[in-house]
Amino acid sequence: MILRLTSILSVFTLLTASTVMAQKYPTPESYLCYQSASPIIIDGVLDEEDWANAEWTQDFVDIEGDKQPNPPFQTRVKMLWDKDYLYIAAELEEPHLWSTITERDAVIYQDNDFEVFLNPVPTSSQYYEFEMNLLNTVWDLMMTKPYRDGGKYMNAWDIDGLKSAVKMYGTLNDPTDKDEKWTLEIAFPWKVIGQENPLAIFPKEDTRWRINFSRVNWDLEEKDGAYAKKIDPKTGRTYPEHNWVWSPQGEIAMHMPEQWGYLHFTENKVGDKVKKEIKETEGERLYRHLFDIYYKQKAFFLKNRVYAKTFKELGGVDKMHYNGKELTPKMDQTLTGFQLVLEVPQEKKIYVIREDSSTDIIDMN
């Protein structure tokens, strides 16, 4: 989902919010991703035994989380991996199967679509976005960094070796009947999403990535025997799209990678269930807490055209704790802006976040 009007307004609200209280965002979801026992045939039909053995994610919710009601249609995802691909399957309940865009790398979210946001290296500001509609028209792009930090997308970049497919349960673009759903499969090749060094991101036991999924749905009506986007009679414009996601962002803004869910890999084969703690760790929670201060700095800069030198200028910041023990972050001035530093002795790590969202996790050993 490229930064659209609703996202722009949301980010503006986020950056101009009161600096008295730190921003609060939902705890990201987590998913344990098993190896497939055999390669997945990408045909849009989720009929392999491996898919039957893989767990569904939680049902998608509104992008703002519990600020909004749950979506009226169910959406859920499964994931697997093997030596060549990360596999994604999704099931989207939909009474109105509608899609029109056929040109690759067009603005796919102008149709109903399914989107993937993927960051194999959580400390990197570079990440990937992928969108597809019911016609299996795709849009793949690489982001240099989030829009909030002046990031741009590389639209000419393609995922060489990508596989994707759709299966529709109903009739496409026919408003005279009620449809059931559509399912999809995607295979992302390691050799591309790893760029020059795929071995650096190749899953090992307990490898953790950041990932999220978004479903864009438009309100439709019948017009001259075809589907059309529903018009708000008060404004004369189409109603805004719905954004439903796996892990809620807390704002109408997908380009907040620190809020994406955790993709936790295991080398165990699917079907061989293991007991493993995959929820957000204390260190990961503190890392996100540092972003609360980052956003307060961005709000301060928007108002004053300079970054704050002290936490007092920001109106104070919430205290940080690791299993009950208080930790104190530091804020340093740099030539380009600022950096936030938090030493976590319990983990023997130092977390660093800068004004452009670039981050480091330094091992103190």
> What is the tens place of the pLDDT at every residue in 296-306?
999 999 999 99
**What pLDDT, on the 0 to 100 scale, is given for residue 116?**
98
Which residues, other chains included, contact 23 with Cβ-Cβ below 8 Å and sequence gap of 6+?
14, 17, 291, 292, 295, 296
Of 279, 261, 284, which is closest to residue 344 (Cα–Cα)?
284
Of 244, 247, 283, 243, which is closest to residue 263 (Cα–Cα)?
247
Contact between residue 285 and residue 51 where contact means Cβ atoms under 8 Å apart: no
Retrieve residue 328's tokens: 């104190």
Average pLDDT, the chain: 91
**What pLDDT, on the 0 to 100 scale, is given for residue 237?**
96
* Residue that wins the pLDDT comparison between 156 and 73: 73
**What pLDDT, on the 0 to 100 scale, is given for residue 197?**
66
CA gap 317, 335 in Å, rounded: 23
> What is the tens place of the pLDDT at every residue in 234-269?
999 999 999 999 999 999 999 999 999 999 999 999
What's the predicted TM-score (pTM) here? 0.91
Q: Is the pLDDT of residue 9 over 50?
A: no
Domain 24-269 CATH (choose: 2.60.120.260, 3.10.20.600, 3.40.640.10, 2.60.40.1190): 2.60.40.1190
Phi-psi region of 279 (alpha: psi -120 to 50; beta: other; left: phi over 0): beta
Least confident range from 6-10, 91-95, 232-236, 351-355: namely 6-10
**What pLDDT, on the 0 to 100 scale, is given for residue 243?**
98
Length of the chain: 365
Contact between residue 344 and residue 322 where contact means Cβ atoms under 8 Å apart: yes
Retrieve residue 343's tokens: 């030493």
Q: Is the pLDDT of residue 205 over 60?
A: yes
Structure letter (DSSP) for residue 266: E
